Amino acid sequence: MTARRLPTYYISHGGGPWPYMDDNMRRRFDKLEASLLSIRNEWGSAARAALIVSGHWETPEFAVSSAAAPGMVFDYYGFPEHLYDIKYDAPGSPELAVRVLAMLQAGGFACESDPERGFDHGTFSLMKPLCPNGEMPIVQLSIKQDLDPQAHLSVGQLLAPLRDEGVVIIGSGSSFHNLGLRGPAAVEPSRQFDDWLQQTLLATSTDERRRRVVAWTQAPHARTAHPREDHLIPLMVALGAADKESAALVFHQDDFFGSWALSSFRFGDPLCLGTQTSSVER
């Protein structure tokens, strides 16, 4: 491992276009925002681009966004009208898109280039706090519609060399994602699933960690936490890209949306020391 190898992340990205919300609505995301600001400090000056694996982009086979100036994808509902006119002006990186495409194809995975895909909120909700002026080029990688954990772990392993090239790999989803379950009924299922996820990622050997995430449906309340695992699968890519490295908890909130336990994780060491996270070395 080189001294400049960037860590990878699985981040619970919050609700809709929250960085663009006003006043009290935005304040609900203060803890998440603080965690993102801390994460940005972990990269120093080493990160030159971001590869975001968003749970909001599914394709039959893998796809990579290749536009030089991506547009926006407003894949949320019921928000005030002005939140459908926002623009996050970060550039894309056709060069990085070509590199990602080649890496996956060389590893035996079908992958297509999509020059039309814009930033969905799984991407811009994170990157607005991380890089508020849109100064970092961004490429998005879709998740494959079969949602196969092992395939996404393998894709992450193929992408690992990007970490030595100044590319930060972020899996963007949510550690609990059952939009129909709020209030007291959500408390215990979300706590138990979150406890299992933290135990799996922070306190097991890397071999056991991999085995457990592939068999994630055996976790307590697995299908309550993820009736459909589109928001969990980005974890597999981030974890695969740091397969043998230690994990750290970089965000946790017990009362997200009033009742959900949500967490975010880092894999690999931060480049800038001094961040306050919970980690288990092994």
CATH at 56: 3.40.830.10
Considering the domain boundaries, does residue 2 fall inside one? no
Q: Taking the model in full, what pTM does it have?
A: 0.94
245 part of a folded domain: yes
- Cβ of 23: how many Cβ atoms within 10 Å? 6
20 is a domain residue = yes
At 113, is the secondary structure helix, strand, or coil?
A: strand
Determine, yes or no, domain membership for 138: yes
Residue 1 lies in a domain: no
Structural domain including 15 reads 8-280
pLDDT digits (tens, 9 = 90+) for 139-193: 999 999 999 999 999 999 999 999 999 999 999 999 999 988 999 999 999 999 9
Give me the number of domains the chain comprises.
Answer: 1
Domain membership of residue 160 (yes or no) is: yes
3 part of a folded domain? no
Collapsing DSSP states into helix, strand and coil, what is residue 172? strand
Answer yes or no: are the C-beta atoms of 267 and 8 closer than 8 Å. Answer: yes
Read off the pLDDT of residues 75-126 as tens digits, 9 standing for 90 and up: 888 888 999 999 999 999 999 999 999 999 999 999 999 999 999 999 999 9
Tens of pLDDT, residues 189-238: 999 999 999 999 999 999 999 999 999 999 999 999 999 999 999 999 99
